[in-house]
């Protein structure tokens, strides 16, 4: 709903994304493409520069396919790349944390970001399974914190799952709903609980598919085709596991196993593949073979 050349009214005035990996780079790219100024925070100068390069490449590909209106250079101009949360602008309206699925690391970075930003800033976590309420325990202002769970690949995905923790203020949910709409995405609002709605169901299906490969029920291709063609899923559960990353899926399964019980116990095959470095698309090998990513 852009009326002029500036950012659409419902977008945050400025965004910071902590962690520029698979998800963080996509989240940053999506906000910048929509018109918001975005700062990506990585753990070193080199890592920050590498994220800039990956986003530049992704923007070039999106422009080549006619998926973005602005030129890649114009979008990149809205972006800054930093190597520590201490450099964040206190006026940042939204901070999205997208570092690996490690509660201690997330808590440490969220608390550090909160010390820098102003009272009006909303803090969000992109965790795909961890308790948002437990993460909020390290914050001084838990009312300004919620889960904004994006999906992979972020620029192409249609959904953001908004996770409402015990202390999240309703006005913060309203702002997140407006930002979701400004990005052109749909929302689902869920109460904080292990795996929310999406990961809990998605991981259950993915783990069962892995157990079926383990038991020799069918090949990965056949299992994926069964769900794709038979159940109209846009992508089979094993291809999706490759896209998400087997390491990410294993971390989530371990958490759901601990919180929801035996039905989420990670299969041996998943652990073995992660130990061998077969992490999915990012390494070229998961349940399927992929062209190595640049």
- How many residues in the shown chain lie near ligand NAI by CB under 6 A? 25
By the rule CB under 6 A, 238 interacts with ligand NAI:
no
Compute the least distance from the CB of residue 98 to ligand NAI, in Å. Answer: 5
Tokens of 182: 């400004």
Instruction: Find all residues with CB under 8 Å of 126, minimum gap 6, and list them.
Output: 23, 24, 27, 96, 97, 98, 147, 148, 149, 150
Q: Does 16 bind ligand NAI (CB under 6 A)?
A: no
Sites for ligand NAI among residues 88-147 (CB under 6 A) = 98-101, 109, 126-128
User: Of the two residues 18 and 107, which places its CB atom closer to ligand NAI in the complex?
Assistant: 18
152 touches ligand NAI by CB under 6 A:
yes
Complex with ligand NAI: residue 289 or 293, whichever CB lies closer: 293
- Secondary structure in 3-state letters for 195-249: CCCHHHHHHHHHHHHHHHHHCCCCCHHHHHHHHHHHCCCCCCHHHHHHHHCHHHH
Binding of ligand NAI by 245 (CB under 6 A): yes
Asked if 195 interacts with ligand NAI (CB under 6 A), we say no
Closest CA to 148 of 167, 171, 172: 172
Binders of ligand NAI among 28-57, rule CB under 6 A? 41-43, 47
- Interacting residue with ligand NAI among 11, 16, 17, 23 (CB under 6 A): 23
Return the number of the residue (22 or 200) whose C-beta is nearest ligand NAI: 22
Q: What is the DSSP string of 74-140?
A: HHHHTEEEES-GGG--TT-SEEEE---S-HHHHHHHHHHHHHHS-TTPEEEE--SSS-HHHHHTT-S
Which residues here bind ligand NAI, judged by CB under 6 A? 18-24, 41-43, 47, 98-101, 109, 126-128, 149-150, 152, 244-245, 248
């Amino acid at each position: 709903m852009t009326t002029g050349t500036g950012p659409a009214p419902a977008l945050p005035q400025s965004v910071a994304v902590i962690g520029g990996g698979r998800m963080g780079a996509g989240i940053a790219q999506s906000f910048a493409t929509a018109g918001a100024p975005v700062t990506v925070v990585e753990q070193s100068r080199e890592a920050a520069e590498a994220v800039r390069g990956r986003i530049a490449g992704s923007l070039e590909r999106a422009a080549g396919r006619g998926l973005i209106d602005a030129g890649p250079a114009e979008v990149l101009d809205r972006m800054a790349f930093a190597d520590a949360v201490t450099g964040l602008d206190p006026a940042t309206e939204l901070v999205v944390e997208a570092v690996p699925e490690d509660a201690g690391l997330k808590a440490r970075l969220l608390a550090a970001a909160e010390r820098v930003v102003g009272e009006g800033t909303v803090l969000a976590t992109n965790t795909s399974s961890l308790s948002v309420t437990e993460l909020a325990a390290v914050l001084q202002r838990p009312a300004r914190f919620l889960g904004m769970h994006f999906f992979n690949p972020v620029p192409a995905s249609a959904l953001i799952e908004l996770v409402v923790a015990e202390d999240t203020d309703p006005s913060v949910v309203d702002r997140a709903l407006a930002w979701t709409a400004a990005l052109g995405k749909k929302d689902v609002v869920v109460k904080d609980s292990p795996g929310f709605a999406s990961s809990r169901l998605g991981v259950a299906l993915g783990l069962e598919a892995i157990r079926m490969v383990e038991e020799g029920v069918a090949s990965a291709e056949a299992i994926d085709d069964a769900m794709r063609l038979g159940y109209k899923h846009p992508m089979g559960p094993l291809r999706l596991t490759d896209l998400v990353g087997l390491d990410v899926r294993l971390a989530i399964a371990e958490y759901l196993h601990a919180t929801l019980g035996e039905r989420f116990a990670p299969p041996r095959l998943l652990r073995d593949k992660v130990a061998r470095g077969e992490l999915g698309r990012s390494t070229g090998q998961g349940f399927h073979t992929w062209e190595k990513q640049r």
